[in-house]
């Protein structure tokens, strides 16, 4: 049995995506990755392109969950707002497909993949190559998306083990039903 997870690194020019499988023994296997190149033009059409093309990725690879990188506050507030809108299009594409969506900060993703929350992008790329046994280095955006999916896969394995008292189980759909919830990245009793 396996669970496919879609990682998304949203961007208004380039949106990275990565699909991985989490197998029974917790092994993570690469499925696909790439970059959605958003055409120049009116903002609404650019957001529609992100939404539509992510929908096509979801239809092709049929993941059971999505993990999206959270927006960090940029020096330029206009850039942060635009990135937030691209992120919204990505969230809507996943939600419209019925996928549960987890969100992670860049620091959480880097910590989970590289072991250091302030790791440079090159180190994240290198760790993604090593963790997924890739023959080549993916683009930065695709590597970030794969890292986001890997962060989620590793997190659900830990949460599953904590909830069941056993090895990594299936994706928990609602932690609250089990008397446990996640708060600021920490597992706490409800």
The predicted structure's pLDDT at residue 77: 87
For 35-73, give one letter per residue: b (16+ CB within 10 A) or e.
bbebeeeeeeebbebbbebbeebbeebebbbbbbbebee
Catalytic annotation on 9? yes
Catalytic annotation on 141? yes
List per-residue pLDDT tens for the chain, 190 residues long. Answer: 689 999 999 999 999 999 999 998 889 999 999 999 999 999 999 999 999 999 999 999 999 999 999 987 778 888 889 999 999 999 999 999 999 999 999 999 999 999 999 999 999 999 999 999 999 999 999 999 999 999 999 986 454 444 444 444 444 444 444 555 555 555 555 5
Catalytic annotation on 176? no
- Say which CATH number the domain at 62 has: 3.30.420.10
Sort strands 101-104 and 65-69 into parallel, antiparallel or unpaired.
parallel
pLDDT digit string, tens, across residues 36-61: 999 999 999 999 999 999 999 999 99
Q: How many domains does the chain have?
A: 1
The predicted structure's pLDDT at residue 76: 86
State the catalytic residue, choosing from 3, 69, 103, 176. Answer: 69
Rounded to two decimals, what is the model's pTM? 0.82
- Domain holding 11, by residue range, is 2-189
d(CA 130, CA 187): 28
State the catalytic residue, choosing from 3, 42, 122, 141. Answer: 141
State the catalytic residue, choosing from 3, 9, 40, 144. Answer: 9
């Amino acid at each position: 049995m396996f669970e496919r997870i879609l990682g998304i690194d949203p961007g208004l020019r380039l949106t990275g995506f990565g699909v991985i499988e989490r197998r029974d023994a917790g092994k993570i296997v690469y499925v696909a990755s790439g970059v959605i190149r958003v055409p120049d033009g009116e903002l609404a059409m650019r957001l529609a392109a992100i939404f539509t093309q992510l929908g096509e990725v979801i239809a092709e690879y049929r993941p059971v969950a999505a993990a999206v990188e959270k927006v960090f506050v940029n020096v330029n507030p206009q850039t942060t707002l635009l990135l937030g809108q691209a992120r919204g299009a990505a969230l809507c594409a996943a939600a419209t497909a019925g996928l549960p969506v987890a969100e992670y900060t860049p620091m959480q993703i880097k910590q989970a993949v590289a072991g250091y929350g302030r790791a440079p992008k090159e180190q994240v790329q290198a760790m993604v190559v090593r963790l997924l046994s890739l023959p080549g280095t993916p683009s930065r955006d695709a590597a970030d998306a794969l890292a986001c999916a890997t962060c989620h896969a590793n997190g659900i394995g830990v949460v599953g083990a904590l909830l069941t008292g056993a090895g990594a189980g299936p994706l928990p759909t609602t932690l609250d039903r089990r008397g446990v919830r996640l708060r600021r990245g920490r597992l706490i009793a409800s």
